[in-house]
A and B are shown apart, each in its own frame.
Chain A
Amino acid sequence: MESLIFEKTQPGRRGYVLPALDVPSIDPAAVLPALALRKKVSELPEVSELDVIRHYTRLSQLNFSIDTNFYPLGSCTMKYNPKVCEQVANFTGFRSVHPLQPASTVQGFLQVCYELERMLSEICGMSEFTLQPSAGAHGELTGLLIARAYHKYKGNARKTVIVPDSAHGTNPASAMIAGYQVVNTKSDPKGRVDLKALKAVLNEDTAVFMLTNPNTLGLFETQIKEVAKMVHDVGALLYLDGANMNALVGLIRPGDLGFDIMHLNLHKTFSTPHGGGGPAAGPVGVTEALTPFLPVPRIRKTEQGFSVEETAPLSIGKMRAFNGNSLILLRAYIYIRCLGREGIRKLSETAILNANYLRAKLHDRYQVAIDEPCMHECIFTSAKQKRFGVKTLDIAKRLLDYGFHPPTIYFPLIVEEAMMIEPTETESKQTLDLFIDALNKIADEAERSPEILKTAPHSTPVRRLDEVKAAREPNLRWRSVPVKVSNPPTPAKT
């Protein structure tokens, strides 16, 4: 393991030196009040540029990543992130643009955003999109605030948001922040909407029904049009959590199914890199009736070029400072321009093909939660390994030894010991076959020598961690000196 960068400090060493000051020097104490001036220096590392490069290059090599390993993490769509998208996003003409520059000086960026919005609207069958939300959960909150503004405009904000028990945890959390009570509804055994259960909770107080389609079991919601009718009949709105949009792109348009609001995760479906947990972007699409409530600013195309509309009377306002994660939006734009209208369909078809191939090849050795054709991901369980005392966690950890990132485990919550595998469309048959081989070997090991699994991983940079210690005695930062209580400076009495 690598020591901390702070532990490599050599007093006086520099990693970057500023140019000499070419304006007259001033005494900070002459222009700033004494109380405003920092007294104690920050103990930042003192290291050379090479120290920094070597330290972080070595650290990076301790990671699994898409560029180095198959990463079939369900619901996360870990597909290849094309390098050309990175290259364009690094052009000075994009990366150095200030967000408050006059519209006349950013026509290229405005065009990218405008066209991306149109393309996403077309792909999803929605009327318009806002590109402002910074992540999927941020998009959910945006969408729910739009719904709330819409209902208020119609006279009554309503009280509840209905969320299926198979939903991502962000759904209920976002609904709470949007000021709604969450009503949970049970799914049927296939993770699909239980129409009876839905009917029982739908009423005039319902603002929104949030749905993931394909659902978190990887199955298409076949009764979607009936669901939409039921929701609309009580005057509520139907929301699509677009986390699983990789199954639908180019094949099925959510707008055609009756969804009123949806968010996309550009870092999933449209291949912007996950960056170890972010940055992301979560554009939100709406039907025409909801467009007046979209956040500002809005980009408009006029005869004089592209312009930015700063205010709109019914808008929910702003979800973040400035306009959005533009360099992420640009990557998604370049990605879609690469794929084009032919490529988007091939994307989802191949994603569905790959998932079904894994289902067909693995279902002898591993229990499939629902053994019928799946969409872009498939849920297995460790039910067949249970009698050897092997759990899903053990299988996941053993996969690390074989050089594969494990699937998403223990989600959805409605499937016991779930393993959610999403191969994505960018993986070759050879990679999938190696993964199948590894899982088959692990199934053998589970029968013959389960201890290997229970103590896995064995070949990773570190082995299983003491998470109880991490949570009981939180150590969240390096400290130069042992903890000491510092008192704020007291202002002089006037």
Chain B
Amino acid sequence: MDFTPHTDAERKEMLADIGVSDFKELVKGLPLYEGDFKIPSGLSEGEVVRLGHELGSRNQAPPRLLSFLGAGCYEHYSPAAISALMSRGEFLTAYTPYQPEVSQGTLQTLYEFQSAICEITAMDVCNAGMYEGASALAEAVLLAVRETGRQEVFIPHTLHPDYKAVLDTYTAEASVQLIDVPQRNGQMDLDFLRARVTENTAAVIVQNPNFFGIVEPVVEMGPIVQAAGAFYIAVVNPLSLGLLTPPGEFGADIAVGEGQALGIPPGYGGPYVGLFTCKSKWLRKMPGRLVGQTVDVDGKRAFVLTLQAREQHIRREKATSNVCTTTALIGFCANFYLTLLGKQGFRDVAYQNLAKSHYALDQFRQIPGVRVPFGDSPFFNEFVIQTKVPVENLQQALLEKGIAAGLSLKKWFPELENASLWAVTETKTKADIDHVAKALREVL
């Protein structure tokens, strides 16, 4: 099945209008591939749907799989209105709103997205969306290095390992020195920062909650970073902001984050939306697209892409970033989610995450063979446990019961023996949690 509409007669007529008798004349002299493409024959729609079902059934997925995986991607309930709106062709199949007269739907929705993200982060400005969280952080670091002219960047040991890896890739060719900030009881070591952050420091990064799910001393860190004149860069889980102090209130210069938690399906890694917010001071330096409010010639309120002279299509090699895609549709999704939950629901969902994860850890603690390494540290919806058996064995045993256990941390944190990271969101019922606790008890 292809999606070309012409009948043979139309094709001939069009070729005649062009003034050729055969298509080949249009590509005469070009190095055409004469071999056979080793790809399968085309399928009809029914066949391809069946193929989709077959492939999909070879994946295990919630709700049939009871999953406690988090680590930067979370299972949250996404109200039905969201996918209904996202599947509207007028949103789905429009391009970047270069012609504002016929793109007010995209533009106003993005303006509302920017507004909603500013509300929850308490930051001054937000762009229209980045690829995802890790590359948004990398862009923030490049901005800080460029603006300060300094090279040292402090990276928490408790930062998501993928974010760290992406930072390594992005800064490999810039003269940037990434300094690892040790953890103490799962939190950043403030004494280390006090001793080491100086006027050579371009930026200090904090992830809140951090990779272990622990809430960092973000307010206490502010003055240490600011005294050195460095950028304070926060990586936040937006869903936690229903409860936690937002970056705009702890003095962050730039706050980035993964928007996935805001009603966006896990989708085996994407697409997601990177959040990028900053203080007004850095507005002209921020990457990505921005939507602004203005008026049309009749004085009507209208929205338009603005401050475009910062961008790659105008500045070319002098641009501050090469980003061109703004993940508008996924930004819409986050905006629909925040709008549907609203002022109260946004607090409720954060609260339920807190209550359920704390209930789960309380149950897990009572299981012989479970140790909680960062016992006293405050956490949001994720926590680390250590078990007397290797995590792989645990995962295998639980998988047989239809449960995806917490993530093994061995690869990144070998010093934490048999450690796993468990996320418990509002999607888990008390019965689910009791069920997994019982299963753990049986395995251990």
Q: Do A and B come from one complex?
A: yes
Q: Is the CB of B36 within 8 A of A341?
A: yes
Give the distance in Å from the alpha carbon of A148 to the alpha carbon of B170 in the complex: 13
Chain B neighbourhood of A428, CB < 8 A: 5-6, 10
A residues 94-109 touching B (CB-CB < 8 Å): 94-102, 104-109
Please encode chain B, from 88 to 110, with 1 for each CB lying within 8 Å of some chain A CB and 0 for all others: 11111111111111111110111
Instruction: Report the stretch among A84-92, A196-204, A230-238, A379-387 that lies at the interface.
Output: A84-92
Chain B neighbourhood of A208, CB < 8 A: none
Q: Is the CB of B354 within 8 A of A169?
A: no
Q: Is the CB of B313 within 8 A of A169?
A: yes
Chain B neighbourhood of A295, CB < 8 A: 169
Give the distance in Å from the alpha carbon of A458 to the alpha carbon of B309 in the complex: 27
**Given A90, A179, A339, A405, which contacts B83 in the complex, CB threshold below 8 Å?**
A90
CB distance from A451 to the nearest CB of B (A): 14
Please encode chain A, from 192 to 227, with 1 for each CB lying within 8 Å of some chain B CB and 0 for all others: 000000000000000000000000000010101100
**Given B131, B246, B268, B321, which contacts A98 in the complex, CB threshold below 8 Å?**
B268
Q: Is B315 an interface residue (CB 8 A)?
A: yes
Q: Is A175 an interface residue (CB 8 A)?
A: yes
Give the distance in Å from the alpha carbon of A111 to the alpha carbon of B118 in the complex: 40
Q: Is B230 an interface residue (CB 8 A)?
A: no
**Given A277, A322, A357, which contacts B162 in the complex, CB threshold below 8 Å?**
A322
Chain A neighbourhood of B103, CB < 8 A: 62-64, 276
Give the distance in Å from the alpha carbon of A418 to the alpha carbon of B3 in the complex: 29
Residue of A nearest to B302 (CB): A462
Residue of B nearest to A225 (CB): B31
Given A325-B269, A429-B13, A429-B14, is A17 in contact with B345 using a C-beta cutoff of 8 Å?
yes
Chain A neighbourhood of B227, CB < 8 A: none
Q: Is the CB of B325 within 8 A of A73?
A: no
Chain B neighbourhood of A105, CB < 8 A: 59-60, 65, 399, 404
Q: Is the CB of A61 within 8 A of B105?
A: yes
Chain B neighbourhood of A352, CB < 8 A: 23, 26-27
**Given B58, B67, B116, B242, which contacts A101 in the complex, CB threshold below 8 Å?**
B67
A residues 345-365 touching B (CB-CB < 8 Å): 346-347, 349-350, 352-354, 356-357, 359-361
CB distance from B12 to the nearest CB of A (A): 11
Q: Is the CB of A65 within 8 A of B270?
A: no
**Given A39, A108, A256, which contacts B59 in the complex, CB threshold below 8 Å?**
A108
Chain A neighbourhood of B290, CB < 8 A: 474, 476
Chain A neighbourhood of B32, CB < 8 A: 251-252
Instruction: Report the stretch among A284-292, A437-445, A486-494 that lies at the interface.
Output: A486-494
Q: Is the CB of A35 within 8 A of B324?
A: no
Please encode chain A, from 160 to 186, with 1 for each CB lying within 8 Å of some chain B CB and 0 for all others: 000000001110111111110010000
Q: Is the CB of B241 within 8 A of A107?
A: no
Tell me the total A-B contact number using a CB cutoff of 8 A: 700
Q: Is B186 an interface residue (CB 8 A)?
A: no
Q: Is the CB of A462 within 8 A of B104?
A: yes
- Chain B: interface residue count, which band? 35 or more
Chain A neighbourhood of B414, CB < 8 A: none
**Given B91, B166, B265, B355, which contacts A21 in the complex, CB threshold below 8 Å?**
B355
Give the distance in Å from the alpha carbon of A312 to the alpha carbon of B426 in the complex: 38
Given A87-B49, A339-B1, A340-B42, is A63 in contact with B105 using a C-beta cutoff of 8 Å?
yes
Please encode chain A, from 376 to 401, with 1 for each CB lying within 8 Å of some chain B CB and 0 for all others: 00000000000000000000110010
Q: Is the CB of A108 within 8 A of B56?
A: yes
Chain B neighbourhood of A338, CB < 8 A: 1-3, 42-43, 45, 48
Give the distance in Å from the alpha carbon of A310 to the alpha carbon of B17 in the complex: 55
Q: Is B21 an interface residue (CB 8 A)?
A: no
Q: Is the CB of A33 within 8 A of B378?
A: yes
Q: Is the CB of A251 within 8 A of B33?
A: yes
CB distance from A461 to the nearest CB of B (A): 5
Given A42-B241, A95-B267, A477-B118, is A88 in contact with B58 using a C-beta cutoff of 8 Å?
no
Chain A neighbourhood of B210, CB < 8 A: none
Give the distance in Å from the alpha carbon of A220 to the alpha carbon of B32 in the complex: 12
Q: Is A250 an interface residue (CB 8 A)?
A: yes
Chain B neighbourhood of A187, CB < 8 A: none
Q: Is the CB of B245 within 8 A of A321?
A: no
Question: Shortest 9 CB-CB distances between A and B: which pairs?
Answer: A340-B42, A93-B56, A179-B173, A67-B89, A275-B329, A108-B58, A279-B271, A88-B52, A322-B269
Q: 17 interchain pairs (CB within 8 A)? A: A21-B355, A23-B430, A35-B218, A56-B109, A65-B91, A65-B94, A135-B324, A173-B315, A177-B142, A275-B92, A276-B103, A279-B327, A327-B265, A343-B42, A360-B19, A397-B101, A476-B125
Other than A99-B269, A257-B31, A477-B118, give 9 A-B pairs with Cβ distance below 8 A: A13-B342, A44-B346, A53-B85, A56-B332, A98-B69, A169-B324, A396-B99, A426-B3, A476-B292
